[in-house]
Amino acid sequence: MKTKLIINGQDRALDADPRVTLLDALRNHLGLPGAKKGCDHGQCGACTVIVNGRRVNSCLTLACMHDGDAVTTIEGIGMADDLDPLQQAFVRHDGYQCGYCTPGQICSARAMLDEAEAGWPSFVSEEMDGAIDLSQLSDEEISERMSGNICRCSAYSNIVDAIREIAHEKQGASA
C-alpha cells in the first residue's frame, strides 16, 4: 500500500502492509521512534502525534488512512540542539522521569493549547461559551485536557507546571 505523508514538513513515501498503524510506520518504517508505544490501544497517549493540526493516538489509526496528511511528531517540534520552549519547560520543571511518555505529553500539550486557544471547552469548564483566556487557564483545565496522557512515573504536577508556564506566556506574547 503506497502512502504519501508529509512528516515534519517533509514528503515521505511509505509502501507498507495496510495493517501498519501510523505509529508503527513512524517507528519501524520511517526512522522516527520519538512517538512511543505504551499500550497500542489508545489507552495511554504515549503515541500522540499531531495530524493536520490535531492530536491523535497514532496507534489507533492506519498509516494508509493518512495519504496526503501532515504529521508532526516530537522530532518535528524540536531536536535536542534546538528545543522548542515547551520542551525546554518540560526539562526545567522535570516534567518527566523515565521519559517514555514524554514525546506524547509534549505533542499532546502543544495541540491542546491550540484547542484551548480556539475556545474548545473541556468537561471541567464551568462556562461553555467558547471563550478561553490562555493566561488564565487553570490547573484543573490543564489536567483534564492532558488526562489522555498517562505518566506512570507520575510527573503530573510538574507537567502541569511546564504547560501552565507556556500557556500563560503564550497569551502574553499574542496580546
Partner 1 sequence: MRPFEYQRCDTVTDARQAGAGGSRFIAGGTNLLDLMKLQIETPQDLADINRIGLDTIDETDEGGLRIGALVRNSDCAADARILRDYPVLARAILAGASGQLRNRATTGGNLCQRTRCSYFYDTAMPCNKREPGTGCGARGGQNRNMAVLGTSEHCIATYPGDMAVAMYALDATVEIQAADGGTRLLPVRQFHRLPGDTPERDNELDEGELITAVLLPKPVGGKHGYRKARDRASYAFALVSLASVVEVSDGKIARADLAFGSLGTRPWHDPRLEQLLVGEEPSKALFEKAADTLLAEAKGFGGNDFKIPLARRMLIATLADATGLNAAGEPA
Partner 2 sequence: MTETRTMDRPDRRNILDEAAQGVIGTPMDRPEGKLKVSGTATYAHEYNLPGTAFGVLVRATVPSGRLAHVNETSVADIEGILGVYSDERFLRNPAQGGANEAPVQGTDIDYFGQAVALVVAETFEAARDGATRIQLRLDADDDGVFDPASSPPEAQPDEAVDQGDLSAAMADAAHSIDVTYTTPGHNSAAMEPHCSVAEWQDGNLILRGSYQMLKYNRNEIADAIGIDPAKVRILSPYVGGGFGSKLGIAPEAVAAAIAAKALNRPVCVALTRQQVFENVMRRSESKQRVRLAADKDGKLSGLGHEAWVSNLPEESFAEPVLQATHFLYGGDSRKLDLYLHRVNRICAGSVRAPGEAIGMQILENAMDELAHEAGIDPVELRIRNIPDMHPEKDIPYTSRKMEEALRTGAEAFGWDKRPAKPATRREGEWLVGMGMATAARINMLQASEARVTLKADGTAIVETDMTDIGTGTYSILTQIAAEMLGLPSERVTTILGDTDLPPAAGSGGSWGAASSGSSVFVACEEIRERIAERLDCKPDELTLKDGQAICGNRSTPLADLLDSDICVEGRIESGKLSQKVQSATYGAHFAEVAVNAVTGETRVRRMLGVFGCGRILNEKTARSQCIGGMTWGMGIALHEDLMFDLRDGHLTNRDLAEYHVPVNLDVPQQDVIFIDERDGESSPIQAKGIGELGICGAAAAITNAIFNATGVRVRDYPATLDKIIAEMA
Q: Which stretch binds partner 1 (CB under 8 A): 11-19, 70-78, 153-161, 164-172?
A: 11-19
Instruction: Out of 98, 119, 128, 133, name the contact with partner 2 by CB under 8 A.
Output: 98
In the 8-state DSSP scheme, what is residue 75?
H
Please say which residue, 126 or 175, places its beta carbon nearer to partner 2. 126
Cell numbers placing 168: 500563560
Cell numbers placing 22: 501510523
Task: State the minimum distance, in angstroms, from the CB of residue 36 to partner 2.
Answer: 7
Instruction: Out of 65, 79, 91, 98, name the contact with partner 1 by CB under 8 A.
Output: 65
Residues in binding contact with partner 1, number by CB under 8 A: 40
Pairwise CA distance, residues 147 & 45, whole Å: 9
Check residue 48 for interaction with partner 1 (CB under 8 A): yes
> Which partner, partner 2, partner 1, none, binds residue 114 by CB below 5 to 8 Å per kind?
none
Q: Are 95 and 105 in contact (CB under 8 A)?
A: yes
Pairwise CA distance, residues 11 & 125, whole Å: 39
> Which partner, partner 2, partner 1, none, binds residue 36 by CB below 5 to 8 Å per kind?
partner 2
DSSP per-residue letters across 77-104:
H--TTS--HHHHHHHHTT--SS-SSHHH
Instruction: Reduce the DSSP state of residue 115 to 3 states and report it.
Output: helix
Pairwise CA distance, residues 144 & 77, whole Å: 23
Please say which residue, 57 or 158, places its beta carbon nearer to partner 1. 57
CA 74, distance to chain mean position in Å, is 8
Check residue 71 for interaction with partner 2 (CB under 8 A): no
Q: Which residues bind partner 1 (CB under 8 A)?
A: 1, 17-19, 21, 40-42, 45, 48, 54-57, 60-62, 64-65, 67, 108, 111-112, 115, 118-123, 128-130, 143-145, 147-150
